[in-house]
Amino acid sequence: MDTVGAAALGWRLAVAAVAIAGPTLLYLGLWRLLEWLRDDALIERLAARGAVERPRPAAADVLAAATSGVDDRRCPACGTVAVAGETECRECRRPIEGNE
């Protein structure tokens, strides 16, 4: 067997570190780029025109809303319970009175 010198061993370890950490860093960079490109105001304008469907909340949004608390307000039109801080009903999209 060949003995590997310190410089060759260092080089191999550096290549291994890049091969392991590289994809993770690229994924995190892509994630940050996609967050930067997200335009919620544009989606709301298009949904108001009827060009696109309003996005349904993700599971994380539902969990955050459930843990933030539910107040005693209900939608006057359909009776849906309002989550704290909501300005419009999740079901019928009508304004909810008595916002904080």
pLDDT at 27: 94
pLDDT tens readout for residues 47-76: 889 888 877 777 777 766 666 656 667 888
Q: Give CB contacts under 8 A, 24+ apart, made by 73-78.
A: 73/97, 73/98
Mean pLDDT confidence for 34-56: 84
**3-class SS of residue 66:** helix
Q: Name the band, by pLDDT with cuts 50, 70 and 90, for residue 15.
A: very high
- Provide, rounded to the nearest whole percent, the portion of the chain with pLDDT above 90: 26
pTM: 0.38
Tokens of 42: 């544009």
Whether the pLDDT of residue 14 is over 90: the answer is: yes
Mean pLDDT confidence for 6-18: 93
